[in-house]
Amino acid sequence: MDERPVSLALKLMALTMFVFLLAPLIVVVPISFSGDSYMMFPPSSWSLKWYPAIFTDGKMTSAFWTSLLLAFVVTVLSLLIGLPAAYALVRLKPRGAEAMSALFTAPLLLPTIVLGLAILIVFSRYGLLATFQGLVAAHLVVTLPYAIRVLATALATLPIPIEEAAATLGASPFTVFRRITLPMMKSGLIGTTALCFLVSFDEVVLSLFMTGPRISTLPVAMYHHVEQQADPLVASLSVLLVILTLLVVLVVDRTSGLAKTFVK
Amino acid sequence: MTDRITAAAAGQAGEGFLSLKGLTKRYGGFAAVDNLDLEVPKGELVAFLGPSGCGKTTSLRMIAGLVPATSGRIVVGGQDLTEVPTHRRDMGLVFQSYALFPHMSVARNVAFGLEMRKVGKDEIARRVKEAIALVHLSGKEEHRPGQLSGGQQQRVALARALVVRPSILLLDEPLSNLDAKLRDEMRNEIRDIQKRLGITAIFVTHDQVEALTMCDKVVVMNQGRLEQVGTPVDLYETPRTAFVAGFVGRSNRLKATARDGVAEFAGESFAAQAGLSGPVEIMVRPHRVALSAAGADVTAGDHRVSGIVARTIFAGDILQYDVDVAGQIVSVELATRGGETVLQPGAAVSLSWRRQDVFVYGAAA
């Protein structure tokens, strides 16, 4: 790579972009340390009280555990469904494989509000609204396209002779998959896991349709909290969530390289 | 060090350790391999030679079980393997692309086949060490394939295939991805190891030099069909078809017409297959043609034609003349000894060659 002098204009533009992207953080982080009882920027006094307040708010903690369990279950199911689906699409190449993979990605192209409305109408008939199973099913609609996409790409780029070599050495088809194919898909698997987890954990629009007084997810609980009382608790919670997201991204980057996992 | 492997791989030498009987692979109406019959004796290195698309790789993949045969049988050591899945065939396959497991060390790559066979831990360690030493890679056990050069990777692939003592070693263009110098080196190495272990091996290649220099027998294939099977000497000295004559070694192929088993070219008569009539090709190797200036004392030869030098190519060790004989070009290669006169284009010359160096084939329709 040859180093080229970067013009001042380009530097300025990059700086502007960073400020624009990071602006929410610049506002949220100071507010999270606010001593006021409502959100105001800049805060008139400083305090750490809003952080412990999160953990005594029953609605928030129960919503957090719901979201965490939900994201975990959704991620596991996405992998369990997405992996065989991707394998079938890429390796077994059934008739109409391309049409099917387009169909599986279609939910990504629809506005989530439309999906949410459709799911609301169908689920209300079967009593799935405001249930954990209902939330899992709704989230799978948006995580599965990601899972199938990323895993199919990971599979398609694997050289087939490597698997054939394992077979000639005496490995049964299942052993080939377990000992050769899966380990070689490592970065795709980690990417899928991180992606599904974050998509489910962050999901607001679909969850808004699906939650109720009985069950709520963290983003929905935060939304309702802000609607009712504008105290800085939500800002403190946001900072914690940013840190959690950052941790996930860091783990992905350390284990398999962020660029390698997502930019393909 | 290799005694153990040799003892296992060697056995009764005899005819037809590997038999292919009417082996056929069809894709729709297209026959990639058409009714292949072949007997490979134990311990021989046999080349499948032919241009790309001739069916040599498909044949190899059928033997390995990676491609199901449309019809025909594959028998190894008296056992019919046609319906046996790849992982129970007990064959070693070396790929053109090496196909090493990128997430495993060299030692783990080599150990894989032994683990699949549930060999004990201590024995695995010992045999892996032996196999790695056999391919001169001791000290690289803990390297990942990505840290090795192409030649080293192919050695690992070879060790990985050999360590399980396969009944047959299959090599699919193993040298094609290596540079010329490494290719020569690996050629000798593969041949040495194969002989030392006495293992039966099939070597797929499109390179006639590899086939001729390494192998006991060569199977020449073209368009899914077997053209000729023979030793390198057989193929070169008595090519049975025009295709083999053209593909193995260099040759002049002269168009002529035959009548009742006699072909005519430039006033000379050439014996063809009894009763053959119609268009034919007369084949003679460039270095089997003697050349003398017109009018000079003629060297011994059963056939003689005269022509005009059209082109002179001096390549140091070889002096090549392209001679126009009755409107067709006959190439002549002479080994240089130093001091000879180099004839210039336009010189009248006479060419001669022996009867046993000429082959006449019915021209392909």
Phi-psi region of B346 (alpha: psi -120 to 50; beta: other; left: phi over 0): left
- Which residue out of A168, A178, A189, A190 would a mutagenesis test of the B interface target, given it has the greatest number of B Cβ atoms within 10 Å? A168
> Is B87's CB within 8 Å of A165's CB?
no
The CA distance from B77 to B90, in Å, is 12
At residue B338, the pLDDT reads: 83
At residue A201, the pLDDT reads: 93
Using the predicted structure, report yes or no on whether residue A4 has a pLDDT greater than 80.
no
Please tell me the distance in Å from A88's CA to the nearest CA on chain B: 19
What's the mean per-residue pLDDT of chain A? 89
At residue A187, the pLDDT reads: 86
Using the predicted structure, report yes or no on whether residue A48 has a pLDDT greater than 50.
yes
SS (H, E, C) A198-209: HHHHHCCHHHHH
Residues of chain B with pLDDT under 70: 1-15, 295-300, 364-365
The percentage of chain A sitting over the pLDDT mark of 70, rounded to a whole number, equals: 95
- Chain B environment of A167 (Cβ under 8 Å): 65-66, 85-87
The CA distance from B334 to B311, in Å, is 14
Query: What is the separation, in whole angstroms, between the first and last Cα of chain B?
Result: 56
At residue B296, the pLDDT reads: 66
Q: Which residues contact B145 (CB under 8 A, 6 or more apart)?
A: B98, B100, B101, B102, B104, B106, B109, B153, B156
Look at residue B354 and give its three-state secondary structure. coil
Q: Which two tokens stand for residue B229?
A: 């099977």
The CA distance from A185 to B47, in Å, is 36
Closest-CA residue of chain A to B94 = A165
Q: Is B101 on the interface with A (CB under 8 A)?
A: yes
At residue A264, the pLDDT reads: 43
Could you tell me the CA-to-CA distances from B75 to B17, B23, B58, B72, B203 in Å, in that order? Answer: 8, 11, 17, 10, 18
- Chain A environment of B101 (Cβ under 8 Å): 162, 165-166, 180, 184
pLDDT band at A211 (very low <50, low <70, confident <90, very high): confident
Which residues of A lie inside 8 Å of B (Cβ-Cβ)?
Answer: 159, 161-162, 164-173, 175-176, 179-180, 183-184, 186
Q: Is B103 on the interface with A (CB under 8 A)?
A: yes
- Identify which of A159, A169, A183 has the shortest CB distance to residue B116: A169
The CA distance from A49 to A39, in Å, is 14
The domains found in chain A, sorted by start residue, are 58-262 (1.10.3720.10)
Phi-psi region of B261 (alpha: psi -120 to 50; beta: other; left: phi over 0): left
pLDDT band at A258 (very low <50, low <70, confident <90, very high): low
Q: Which two tokens stand for residue A150?
A: 């990323």
- Identify which of B91, B103, B113 has the shortest CB distance to residue A183: B103
Q: Which two tokens stand for residue B106?
A: 């060299």
Could you tell me the CA-to-CA distances from A113 to A117, A118, A137, A220, B302 in Å, in that order? Answer: 6, 9, 16, 15, 93
Domain edges within chain B: 3-242, 254-362
Any idea which architecture B254-362 has in CATH?
Beta Barrel (2.40)
Using the predicted structure, report yes or no on whether residue A226 has a pLDDT greater than 60.
yes
CB-side exposure of A53: number of CA atoms within 13 Å? 16
- Chain B environment of A166 (Cβ under 8 Å): 101, 112
Q: How do residues A88-147 score in pLDDT, each as one tens digit? A: 999 888 898 889 888 888 888 889 899 999 999 999 999 888 899 999 999 999 999 999
> In the CATH hierarchy, which top-level class contains the domain B3-242?
alpha beta
> Is B102's CB within 8 Å of A162's CB?
yes
The CA distance from A46 to A264, in Å, is 45
